Amino acid sequence: MNTETKKPSLYERLGGVYAIAAVVDTFIDRIMVAPELNANPLVDEAHHRVPKAGFKYLVTEMVCQVTGGPQRYTGKTMAESHKHLNISASEWVVFAGIFKAVLDEYKVPEAEQAELFAIVGSTRSDIVVERPVSKAG
């Protein structure tokens, strides 16, 4: 008899689609109005080009899929949807800080937060435009 129990998926540990959708709802509301992110005119324009409800739907789909849920993401790849936005490393840090604050607000345990940040971090190279460091002098 196998006494080993299967660990619940991250999706299950996060509480499933309803809990994920609630976090995404708050998170998108915050990033859409973050002055540090909207200082980038390309990001600001993108934030106003699509209805917020549709954006929240796609992000919820994506988070559910990558955490082991039954949903399938139907949007563009991260590279396709971000390559034209010229997102900087400092904007990424602001985005991550907002994400962390929302996860804390919803009392997502640290272990699950670490897994989520590993997933989000894996998309950084598709989102952030690295700029060469200029040397003065």
Residue 128 phi, psi (nearest 5): -90, 135
**What is the C-alpha separation between 134 and 67, in angstroms, rounded?**
39
48 labelled binding-site residue:
no
SS (H, E, C) 63-78: HHHHCCCCCCCCCCCH
Residues 12 and 115: beta-carbon distance below 8 Å: no
Residues in the chain: 137
Burial of 28 per CB tally in 10 Å (0-12, 13-18, 19+):
buried
Residues 80 and 123: beta-carbon distance below 8 Å: no
Residue numbering of the annotated binding site: 82
Residue numbering of the annotated binding site for heme: 82
